[in-house]
Amino acid sequence: MYVGALTLDVLLGDVRSLKQKRSVVRPLIAEVHRRFPGVAVGETGHLDLHRRAEIGIAVVSSTAANAVQVLEACERFVAGRPEIELLAARQRLLTDEGE
């Protein structure tokens, strides 16, 4: 069993309040979940900043290659969104025997 984790640090466009931030981040998370139903996704950091968000994505797979493929597809999807800028992406792969 392999668990893949992806952390995306994103810069949001013209956002001036936490309410506006939610109106950008929530649909993004929902769309990732819709396109990739086997992943868990949520906002995991920068909760008090208006223009920054950290999005966490996790997947469980029987093969390392599949886990990496799904995470890379998620990263490409988020990076392709015009309303945000992907600042950094960090991917980790864990097994039942450790990293």
The predicted-structure confidence for 77-99, as pLDDT tens digits, reads as follows 999 999 899 999 999 999 987 55
Domains of the chain: 2-95 (3.30.70.1120)
Distance CA 59, CA 82 (A): 25
User: CB burial class (10 A; 0-12, 13-18, 19+) of residue 20?
Assistant: middle
The strand order across the sheet containing 39-45 reads 39-45, 52-61, 2-12, 84-95
DSSP, collapsed to helix, strand or coil, labels residue 39 as: strand
On whether the pTM is more than 0.75, the answer is yes
Query: For 39-68, what is each residue's pLDDT tens digit?
Result: 999 999 988 998 999 999 999 999 999 999
